[in-house]
Amino acid sequence: MAEGRETHSVLMGYILWIFGFTGSERFYYGKPVSGTIYFFTLGLLGVGWLLDLFLIPSMARQADRRFHPGPLSYNVAWILLTFLGPLGIHRFYMGKWLTGILYLCTAGLLGLGYIYDFWTLNDQIDAINGAAGKEGP
């Protein structure tokens, strides 16, 4: 874990696990391929969903090692994406005002941008947090 700060919360993982048959917790921890598989198979017909109950702590540790902490909270961004994604609120949070307005006017580019962000949100935040960490005082 960089700088001793967690980027991805175990608690948030368990909250998203409730909706795990959609792959939510997998997307959150930076595993978009398995998240997509879970989405289309209802959590591997529930078996993968139950398995994730035990895997969430290790997925959180892996995400903490992989992604940079910084000024943007992964948890806030994921809550905004999950519940307000088609409105682009998560994009406003990340400082991406033009695409935020575009999402707001087009329902997340007719849902395609919303899906794209499920695949790439962690990397988008990581790039912003990584750049902020390199600027220094």
pLDDT digits over 93-109, tens only?
Answer: 999 999 999 999 999 99
Q: How confident is the model at residue 128 (pLDDT cuts 50, 70, 90)?
A: very high
Report the interhelical angle of 47-66 vs 10-17 (nearest 10°). 150
pLDDT higher than threshold 60 for residue 136: no
Q: What pLDDT sits at residue 19?
A: 76
Q: How confident is the model at residue 1 (pLDDT cuts 50, 70, 90)?
A: very low
> What pTM, to 2 d.p., does this model score?
0.87
- H helices of the chain, in order, are 10-17, 24-28, 32-45, 47-66, 74-84, 89-93, 97-110, 112-135
Q: What pLDDT sits at residue 13?
A: 95
pLDDT higher than threshold 70 for residue 2: no
Please say whether the beta carbons of 128 and 70 come within 8 A. Answer: yes
Widest CA span in the chain: 50
27-62: burial string, b at 16+ Cβ within 10 Å, e else = bbbbbbebbbebbeeebbeeebbeebeebbeebbee
Choice among 3-17, 23-37, 54-68, 93-107 with the minimum mean pLDDT: 3-17
Q: What is the pLDDT of residues 28-54, one digit of tens each?
A: 999 999 999 998 999 899 999 999 999
Q: What is the pLDDT of residues 79-88, one digit of tens each?
A: 999 889 999 9
Please state, in angstroms and rounded to a whole number, the distance separating the CA atoms of residues 3 and 25.
24
